[in-house]
Amino acid sequence: MLTGLMVGNFKAFADTQKIKIKPITLIFGANSAGKSSLLHALLLLNHASQRRDSSMPSQFDITKMDIGGESVDLGGFNQYVHRRDVARKTEFGVSVKAQDLKGGYQSLLKSSKEITAIIRVGVEQEEIKIKQSWAESKGISLEDIKDPSKKAPGVQKTVEFPTGVLRAISDPRLEAYDVSIDDEVIAKMSLRKGGIFRLDRVSVNHPFIRGLVENMLLACSSTEKITNEDFDIAQDEINNLLTLLEVKADVLLPYAIALSKKEGAGAGEPSEIQPEYQTKQFMFISKENRSEDLRKAVRLLFPTALQSFLKDLSQKAENILSKVIYLGPLRSYPPRHLAFVSESDPNWKAGGGYLWNVIKRDASVRDRVNEWLSDKKKLSSPYSFRINNLVTTEDASLRVSKLIEGIVEGEAGVMDESPVSLFDLVMQDPSYLTDKTDEALTSMRGVPDPVLVDVRSGTEVSHRDVGIGISQVLPVLVAAYSSKGKILAMEQPEIHLHPGLQAELGDVFIQSTVGDNKNSFILETHSEHLVLRIMRRIRETYENKLPPGMPPIKPEDVSILYVEPDGARSIVREMELNERGDFVKAWPGGFFEESLREVIP
């Protein structure tokens, strides 16, 4: 589960800030305060975590991404780095629940809440220098050099003068990686000259690392007890190891630790630590050479133990990032016939175009959408989705021709004795032919085309005939009903809905989150009605007054964030809720007062 997002030197955000992510996260703030930037940072991490060909451009120097479609254009590193200062390092991080890691070290994390992986991205720079001849730098002209009476030097030297101006000489790249447990750093890694990633520090005295070392030695060596003196020896050896190990970082997060070439890996690539060492190797610790035997055990076993932890963390973080689904502020407005929606649309994902396909193929989701459309307490519309089967006239004509031929020849199973003419059949039962024709055409496999039906009159209508509000909210509903275990990042899910329906969306998100689907929502919104409904459900949960079918929701399930400008930067405040669903602190202004100002002089 994603529990936090860290953002620094990215767009409107300067100093790195940690944003708490809960099953329902609501992001409020004035226009251009930086609300959408939080979602964009998550999309950038999703994009960068995908394995890419190393020959392709930097995954951090990105403008448009598949997941963001036409809704998000980052403009590249030079545009999204804070204040467009390429000397800065952007910082991103994701926090996961400590208990979600399933390695053999899980018992060491029992008292820990979350683990955070943090990356820093930057460009290599060099100072621009001006080259001049030595003579020019001293104010000596070419004529002076030619004039023997000036006693100018006969040989000119080139001199470089610093300008104080820096320029980028590399693509944006991963330059540093930190791991922390409950905000305390346990390991730091950085990029060195030659493009090598190395460990800078491991906090051996941290309870997790200390426990990792003790468990490792007790499980894989003959020692039965680790004394403080033993641990001091292990700590010293780990510090020595830091200069001998390289970290293999893939596109986004490290995945392996390797012995450097100077440790005997040969002229080729550094040799990766093999995970089976931890289980197959057993070290004998003698009384006579206890210190040296402990050092040997640490040299062999610790890199494997640390690698296992880093790899599991990286895989968990990347797995979480892969679950992100984004829905932009303006959803796709497909053509009249949904059967012909183009999947090549660049906004196919971010615009929610793919969700119309879910309506076509998933009857259970379609039923839930229809329920929301018709419910008198919700949209209360007279419309319901139905699937039409579109076939070509050629296919239909061929099917009808074969049907008639079969009837005439007695092959349709109509007559038990000798065949009769089609005229005789129709005369005996005038509806017979039309019934059989309808049956034949209905059984044909064509292209499914969802249409809205006015249940009052049975008239078919298009989503283009009933107002844009339905077309904008349908992708939100379908995403909530059809997704399972996903992180749904949405901008303005309430767009084009009147206040009552904005509140009803709150129930949709609650049911999709704490109900069976177990999704998470990160919602950039301006809707006070949406948050008020969620606050109301928290209060009803506390008072045991929830309406039938509504799952309970508590303050720990909801994070309400307020983004506001603070000089040249933006900051994020968390607006905590108490057990009754009320704000612990006063709202910083600009939202809930607006409705009061309109009615109270």
Chain segment 187-243, per-residue pLDDT in tens: 999 998 877 889 999 999 999 999 999 888 888 777 788 889 989 999 999 999 888
- Cβ-proximal residues to 373 (8 Å cutoff; 6+ apart), any chain: 379, 381, 383, 384, 385, 470
Q: Tell me 552's DSSP state.
A: P
Q: How many CB atoms lie within 10 A of CB 333?
A: 13
Q: 528-542 vs 499-514: helix axis angle to the nearest 10?
A: 50
Q: Residue 444: its pLDDT value, please?
A: 62
Cα dist. 22→94, 487, 494, 546, 561 in Å?
Answer: 13, 10, 20, 21, 11
Q: Residue 107 — pLDDT band, cuts 50, 70, 90?
A: confident
The two tokens of residue 446 are 């064509």
Q: Residue 413: its pLDDT value, please?
A: 45
Q: Is 588 left (phi over 0), alpha (psi -120 to 50) or beta?
A: alpha
**Out of 41-55, 148-162, 365-379, which region has the weakest mean confidence (pLDDT)?**
148-162
Q: How many CB atoms lie within 10 A of CB 440?
A: 17
Q: Residue 445: is it exposed, middle or buried by C-beta count within 10 angstroms (0-12/13-18/19+)?
A: exposed
Q: Residue 457 — pLDDT band, cuts 50, 70, 90?
A: confident
Q: Residue 243: its pLDDT value, please?
A: 85
The pairing of beta strand 569-574 with beta strand 245-249: unpaired
Query: Given CA atoms 206, 8, 253, 22 in this order, what sign does their dihedral have?
Result: positive
Contacts 24+ apart (CB under 8 A), 383-386: 383/452, 383/453, 383/454, 383/455, 383/461, 383/466, 383/470, 384/452, 384/453, 384/455, 385/359, 385/450, 385/451, 385/452, 385/453, 386/450, 386/451, 386/452, 386/453, 386/460
Place of tokens 């120097």: 61
Q: Over the range 168-188, which residues count as b (16 or more CB within 10 Å of their CB) and which as e?
A: eeeebbbbbbbbbbeeeebbb
User: pTM here?
Assistant: 0.83
